[in-house]
Homo-oligomer: A and B are copies of this chain.
């Protein structure tokens, strides 16, 4: 774990996802690690923090999530634009060497057996709350966040610092095809 990574209090973990970034979803089961990109992920509750993520039945990652009962969401950044596109368009089913070819380097946090993508801005390790009906009908998974961390160069003291960080730290917001937007400038109604 590099010196810039710090824990995020669980009651503030929702802030990592609140602005709607595209995320990387990672999971591991039976010795297989995988990572995919997902635009359809969202905060669901504050405390304990919960999240939703849509995992298509065709993805290898979904099988790993179902097998292990855990997944991680990470917030990628402009410096990971190509990586995010690659893990979102290639499948481990077709490209066994997908992670290496996409430039993904994995690490693990002590006490959590879920692979995390190095170089991301934030990480949320989640435990699946089983809801078989919505998993099957809508491909929608609910997770409780059991650990959260961020890189202090872009998220510090419970707040994103996009306006102070280098541009490479800006979060990615996927539209379609190869088109993303980076998060932009702060818009502040009230200081509090």
- Interface residues, chain A, with chain B CB atoms under 8 Å away: 15, 18-22, 39-45, 50, 52, 54, 78, 81-82, 85, 131, 133-134, 138-140, 142, 159-160, 162, 170, 172-192
Contact = CB atoms under 8 A, between A and B. Distances in A.
A181 B186 CA distance: 4
Contact of A15 (B140, B175, B188): B175
Contacts of A21: 20
Contacts of A41: 42
B138 A45 contact: yes
Given A20-B22, A44-B54, A140-B44, A182 B187 contact: yes
B54 A176 contact: no
A50 B137 CA distance: 12
A39 B52 contact: no
30 contacts: A15-B175, A18-B174, A18-B176, A19-B175, A20-B20, A20-B39, A40-B43, A40-B44, A42-B52, A43-B54, A52-B52, A52-B140, A78-B187, A81-B189, A82-B189, A85-B189, A133-B133, A159-B175, A159-B176, A160-B181, A170-B184, A173-B173, A177-B192, A178-B190, A179-B188, A180-B186, A181-B187, A183-B183, A184-B184, A184-B185
